[in-house]
């Protein structure tokens, strides 16, 4: 490469380039500022060791600015000495597929362009994160190094070159670096076929008695869903809806929950509803599972997958352990106890599962925020969860509702709900947290109606593999009957703060399992309002989203 083709551009640091649990997320106009993206990409490269000549994987969820950002990253990777970049066709590669490709080809790591379930478009959100060689999100020591570098950066390197053709499969050169435009679906589909009984699922989907609907919310999983469900597994055309990725997700919010995936909800709760429905999010790592007029809580979904894992070829030999995020319900703990395996409680953020998976301590992992996955990659995986459910349905030949209700009969039901208050003024949200913190030392032993406080703390986690410590991961208020409230501020939004309230109550009595969760949790909802004064601090009469 001619040294004249590499440009060294002078720059100055931007404030606030600190990666959160899922990388750096800001509005599109913020990322479009001159040097902004380049500064952060150079900070990533400067934080890595021995990357000269190595392979990097690049892809994104297709949101606005995805293609422009991909071109910038390719030119910077060439200028910084990478040997090869595998990039998804059209710049698209789901987060689970990126993890798959990193692991399959022993890449140094990968850059994922996504703001996950956040809205897209020219005034929407954009995001970037780095995944390491195990295919998982960079651990805190790596992201801290990136942030430190972003505060002192004075220059970045970029190749002066024309844009790369991202639409044609094959190899080309960019300076001395090879750019390989890969089929976005092929490697991921091959991995799924190694885990699930595709022949049995195909029979389920083509025997005429079972119907499903997959909603990709105009996000990244559309091409994957068409290829796997309609082409490989033989589901009828039209099984996949909203399957064309759009830069603004069709004006929708690519978050697979009962509020934002309303097209799917209308289908599954409408007349002549199909037997099974699923939705995925912006970058393909989340999932929502529905049955005929029936919603499966994500916490229950994790527990049910674990309880039925031996029905699936890839997990027929059993599970090493289960891991769940702290706010996720304890339903999975009950399955782990019956199976005689460990259940780990971690902070929110998939990177905390990585060490457990790498060490062989856990096989299945899940978060209440519609994310489940396993040791097949190091990210949560939306379509994997859908295929897992379809494999179970194909073997058990029961409805979704029957499988869930039978699970509750065996294990009891963990009534569970999450209330999101989105776009709260950051100062008011912090004032609410401070208000609760001030009460915590005196809460133990206090009674609120039928509930007595057993403990009140701010969750901390010591990683059992590397000993790293994570503090202040969410307020927990537990009661003597096993019920609990959890309060935390989410780090995945870009506008104000999102306050999340989690409510959980265990009910062993089968006769009460059909209660509406909001009714069953009514007493805890009242206690949360009394303790946290949510309406007063947020200025909101009700949550933005209830799941």
Whether residues 266 and 361 fall in one domain: yes
Does 9 lie in the same domain as 132? yes
Closest Cα to residue 352, out of 511, 470, 448, 245? 470
One domain for residues 365 and 458: no
Which pLDDT score, from 0 to 100, does residue 493 have?
52
pLDDT at 184: 98
**H or E segment at 125?**
strand 125-131
**Is the Cβ–Cβ distance between 438 and 330 less than 8 Å?**
no
Query: What whole-number distance in Å separates Cα of residue 266 and Cα of residue 252?
Result: 15
pLDDT digits (tens, 9 = 90+) for 309-329: 999 999 999 999 999 999 999
Q: Which residue has the tokens 């030999």?
A: 317
pTM flag (> 0.85): yes
Is residue 386 domain-shared with residue 421, that is, in the same domain? Answer: no
- Give, for 371, the enclosing helix (H) or strand (E): strand 371-374
The residue among 166, 183, 200 that closes a domain is 183
C-alpha span between 249 and 126 (Å, rounded): 13
Name the residue range of residue 50's domain.
Answer: 3-183
| pLDDT for res 1 | 45
36-46 helix and 140-150 helix, angle to the nearest 10 degrees: 130
Whether residue 425 is found in the same domain as residue 491: yes
- Which residues, other chains included, contact 326 with Cβ-Cβ below 8 Å and sequence gap of 6+? 345, 346, 347, 348, 459, 461, 473, 474, 476, 486
116 is catalytic: yes
Helix (H, G, I), strand (E, B), or coil: what is residue 213? strand
In this structure, what CATH number is given to the domain that contains residue 537? 3.30.310.50
Mark which of 137, 168, 183 sits at the end of a domain.
183
CATH number for the domain spanning 12: value is 3.40.120.10
| Alpha helices by DSSP H, 128-261 | 140-150, 186-195, 198-206, 221-225
Contact 480, 452 (CB under 8 A): yes
Do 461 and 518 lie in a common domain?
yes
The residue whose two tokens read 């990126």 is 98
| Same-domain status, 91 and 30 | yes
Domain boundary among 388, 410, 432: 410
Structure tokens at 87: 């990039």
Judgement on whether residues 477 and 535 belong to the same structural domain of the protein: yes
pLDDT at 2 (0 to 100): 47
One domain, residues 19 and 141: yes
Say which of 99, 116, 369, 505 is annotated catalytic.
116
Residues of the chain with pLDDT under 50: 1-3
For residue 261, give the nearest of 285, 238, 277, 244 by alpha carbon. Answer: 277
Please tell me the predicted confidence (pLDDT) of residue 149.
98
The answer on 497 and 513 residing in a single domain is yes
- CA atoms 324, 326, 329, 332: torsion sign: positive
SS3 label, residue 522 = helix
Domain shared by 421 and 339, yes or no = no
Are 24 and 123 found together in one domain?
Answer: yes
What pLDDT, on a 0 to 100 scale, did the predictor assign at position 60?
97
Per the structure block, which two tokens stand in for 120? Answer: 């897209």
Secondary structure of residue 328 in the 3-state scheme: coil
pLDDT at 397: 97
Domains identified in the chain, total number:
3
């Amino acid at each position: 490469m001619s040294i004249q083709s590499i440009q060294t551009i002078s720059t100055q640091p931007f404030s606030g380039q600190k990666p959160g649990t899922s990388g750096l997320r800001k509005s599109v106009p913020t990322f479009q500022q001159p040097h902004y993206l380049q500064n952060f990409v150079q900070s990533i490269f400067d934080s890595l060791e021995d990357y000269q000549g190595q392979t990097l994987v690049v892809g994104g969820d297709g949101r606005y600015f995805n293609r422009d950002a991909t071109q910038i990253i390719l030119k910077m990777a060439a200028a910084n000495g990478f040997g090869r970049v595998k990039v998804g066709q059209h710049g698209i590669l789901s987060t689970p597929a990126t993890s798959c490709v990193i692991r399959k080809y022993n890449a140094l790591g990968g850059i994922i362009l996504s703001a996950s379930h956040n809205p897209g478009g020219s005034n929407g959100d954009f995001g970037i994160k780095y995944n390491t060689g195990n295919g998982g999100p960079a651990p805190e020591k790596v992201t801290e190094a990136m942030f430190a570098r972003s505060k002192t950066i004075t220059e970045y390197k970029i190749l002066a070159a024309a844009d790369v053709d991202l639409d044609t499969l094959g190899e080309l050169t960019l300076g001395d670096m090879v750019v390989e435009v890969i089929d976005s679906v092929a490697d991921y589909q091959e991995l799924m076929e190694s885990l699930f009984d595709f022949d049995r699922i195909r029979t389920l989907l083509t025997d005429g008695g079972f119907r499903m609907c997959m909603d990709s919310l105009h996000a990244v999983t559309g091409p994957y869903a068409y290829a796997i469900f309609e082409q490989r597994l033989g589901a009828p055309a039209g099984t996949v809806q909203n399957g064309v990725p759009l830069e603004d997700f069709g004006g929708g919010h690519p978050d697979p929950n009962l509020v934002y995936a309303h097209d799917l909800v209308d289908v599954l709760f409408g007349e002549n509803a199909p037997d099974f429905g699923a939705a995925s999010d912006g970058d393909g790592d989340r999932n929502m599972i529905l049955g005929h007029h029936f919603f499966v809580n994500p916490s229950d979904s994790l527990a049910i997958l674990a309880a039925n894992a031996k029905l699936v070829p890839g997990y027929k030999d059993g599970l090493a352990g289960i891991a769940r995020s702290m706010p996720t319900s304890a339903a999975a703990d009950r399955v782990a106890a019956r199976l005689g395996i460990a259940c780990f409680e971690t902070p929110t953020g998939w990177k905390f599962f990585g060490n457990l998976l790498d060490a062989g301590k856990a096989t299945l992992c899940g978060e209440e925020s519609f994310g489940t996955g396993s040791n097949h990659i190091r990210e949560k995986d939306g379509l994997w969860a859908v295929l897992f459910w379809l494999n179970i349905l194909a073997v058990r030949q029961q409805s979704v509702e029957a499988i869930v209700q039978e699970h509750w009969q065996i294990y009891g039901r963990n009534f569970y709900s999450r209330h999101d208050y989105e776009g709260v003024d950051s100062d008011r949200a912090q004032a609410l947290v401070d208000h609760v913190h001030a009460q915590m030392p005196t809460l133990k032993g206090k009674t609120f109606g039928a509930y007595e406080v057993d403990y009140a703390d701010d969750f901390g986690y010591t990683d059992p593999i590397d000993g790293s410590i994570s503090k202040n991961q969410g307020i927990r208020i537990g009661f003597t009957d096993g019920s609990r409230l959890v309060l935390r501020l989410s780090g995945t939004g870009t506008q104000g703060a999102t306050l999340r309230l989690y409510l959980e109550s265990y009910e062993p009595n089968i006769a009460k399992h059909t209660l509406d969760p909001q009714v069953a949790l009514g007493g805890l909802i009242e206690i949360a309002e009394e303790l946290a004064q949510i309406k007063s601090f947020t200025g909101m009469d009700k949550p933005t989203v209830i799941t």
